[in-house]
Amino acid sequence: MAEAHQAVAFQFTITPEGIDLHLSYQALSQIYLSGLRSWKKRISRIKNRIIKGVYPASPSSWLFVVIAILATMYMQSDPSMGLIAKIREHLPLSLSLSAQGQTVLSVLLFSTLLWLSLILALRFCLKLLLSYHRWMFELHGRISTKTKVWATLVRLLSSRKPLLYSYQTSLPHLPVPSIKDTLERYLESVKPLLDVDGFQRMTRLAAEFEKSLGNRLQKYLKLKALWATNYVSDWWEEYVYLRSRSPIMVNSNYYGMDFLYVTPTSTQAARAGNTITALFLYRRKVNREELNPSRIPGTVIPLCAAQCERMFNTTRTPGEETDVLQHWQDSEFVAVYHRGRYFRLWVYRAGRLLSPREIQYQIQRILDDPSPPSPGEDKLGALTAGNRTPWAQMRKQFFSSGVNKRSLDCIEKAAFFVTLDDQEEGMMGENPSVNLDRYAKSLLHGKCYDRWFDKSFSVVVYKNGKNGLNAEHSWADAPIVAHLWEFTLATDAFHLGYTADGNCKGEIEHSLPPPQRLSWDIPLKECHIFSCSALADDVDCHVFPFREFGKGRIKKMKLSPDSFVQLALQLAYYRDRGTFCLTYEASMTRLFREGRTETVRSSSNESCAFVLALEAGEVIEHCHKLLRKAAEKHQNLYRLAMTGSGIDRHLFCLYVVSKYLGVESPFLKEVLSEPWRLSTSQTPVQQMELFDLVNHPEFISLGGGFGPVADDGYGVSYIIMGEEMINFHVSCKHSCTETDSHKFGSQISQAMMDLMTLLNPDFKEATKANPDKQS
């Protein structure tokens, strides 16, 4: 109880001589420093609100406007055209100010109004400029004069260094596509997947929908678009994620991996110390808005940063009908799980962030703690892995008061969750490929009870120093978490570093109170914690680095690397299943305010024609031509999705409106029930400047992955690392006899090789001459 006594700032006792007061100056000092940190954060927030509120102007520009107006007034000129005199006439303080004072005050008021008007005008101009997207459809090297002028104006208005959220109010709103365009694109996308009768049937349903219900639903949707910041995002978050009652483990959450070839230290506590420190340094940058806004690579075009707001101190809490995302302004601790016990670890003391060495010291205390779990505590995390409604009911019954509520609050209000895993993971041992697959499964679901799947993200640190994370999906999409994880890995390895013996750097304050063990009172006879092991065991994961070539060689062939990979996936799936399927590729709509994702339907008429021609053994020149045509089509589909002209989010919102109105649409019902048997996503590398792959090529990230969307389908994630490697993550289900992640992985590798050989026949001979490069 020593730490409890230290936390008391003063004590007093009543004696015959009077009141005996004892002050704890150490406790008072900590209270003062903690309060000082809190006030600094408040002041920083106010300052940032002002700076981003006047962007693209600067606060100092107000002084420039005032001086300019005063100078013109001094030269007997009135730039206000009589407005300053009008303001002076209506001043309520005219009796208590001199004539000169009234003039100065009037000038200040007029200058402020003029300054605010100029800011609004600049912001409006920037919003108009950011609404222009034709530049994306122009061929490389053939940029129009209009686009060149546009790019120059965007650079001029973006010349000031922005804060993280500076562009938010200047981003355009997501436009609502026309019903006719969406239906035409939809029918074009399903044509290669349906027989003649099926396509005619869908064409008839689409025509009936457009003539009858479609236009009515569209009017409501346009009304929402006028009123809401984004007509898709709130419904997408609610109906796709929060209202889903199925387990979020495997089905929704996704994972991110450590470096492929290296582990900075084999000491578990040290790796946890640096990882936790790096994450809090990132949170500090988010809170202070010191991060540069994300942009489209190679341009000055900003992307929406709204998803960063709920990155930390956020939990998805279960409800019987719908879950709720809860976010707290601040949290000075993390929740830690080790061997069935839960701890609260404070990472701030007296207003300062603990050093990495101090956090390592505290983590080691947890690792050395011999206490056993209390009854039911070790499997408690399984509640977050299962169906949402039973978890909501048990939360209400057993965790809404008393010690259970206090302990649950500590987990949910933590900055994030940390699991100290007893296993060793990574690409190691005699069979590194199998171990990589096991590593992926461990991050995706673990033992089903040793992760807290409701937290915005959970960090896993393994016994051998390897790490990774598991992220909840409703609050943000993978690029946001990938940006965080890139910073964390780079800061851990290159900036914080380790001593020669593998420990964290920094000094230790040995008077630190130990981590607080959380207490539980779980009535095991009534509180049934269901196992989700069947869902986890059914997942078949395969992770493999493709080393034969990367984006460097693909770009030399004058093709988009993403289009190349997507066509390889189409070829691989056709060879695996003998047919084509509806394919989902995640694209982003963050060019618009509060934008999230849109679907690129990668299986197109052009891609199917190319695959069929290649498999039929048609002449190389013809296949080559079809390949380039299919790649150009894919790029165009991707651009349409990014610029608000996608198919699926529009149809989804029309379906939601129909449900609100209580009307049925056979067309929408069928469209939204179509299975995505091939779900794909590229994990973008956004901060290559943090990784020196030339001098340190071994520091290559493995990227991350997700579970299969359809029971009889595949989930494929890939990350294009540097110029010479692409890492793939393939998932499916063992329960489906038609899917096999390893077999499909082999098909992907072969398809990649075949496409490159088609583009460059000499590549095959070069590969034979250098067999060591093959995986």
Residues 6 or more apart from 113 whose CB is under 8 A from it?
none
Sheet holding 714-721, edge to edge: 539-546, 725-733, 714-721, 678-682, 583-588, 597-601
d(CA 268, CA 277): 14
Q: 349 exposed, middle or buried (CB, 10 Å; 0-12, 13-18, 19+)?
A: middle
Sequence length of the chain is 775
17, 8 in Cβ contact below 8 A?
no
* Helix (H), strand (E) at residue 209: helix 196-209
The reply to whether 473 belongs to the active site is: yes
Residues 6 or more apart from 18 whose CB is under 8 A from it?
none
Task: Identify the sign of the CA torsion 160, 161, 163, 166.
Answer: positive
DSSP assignment string, 556-602: HTT--HHHHHHHHHHHHHHHHHSS---EEEEEE-TTSTT--EEEEE-
654, 214 in Cβ contact below 8 A?
yes
Place of tokens 């978890």: 391
* Helix (H), strand (E) at residue 119: helix 99-130
Residues 6 or more apart from 108 whose CB is under 8 A from it?
66
Residue 492: count of CB within 10 angstroms of its CB: 26
d(CA 703, CA 705): 7
The catalytic position among 473, 483, 634, 729 is 473
Does a cis peptide bond (omega within 30 degrees of 0) precede residue 56?
yes
d(CA 501, CA 422): 21
364, 535 in Cβ contact below 8 A?
no
d(CA 427, CA 698): 13
**Active site members:** 473
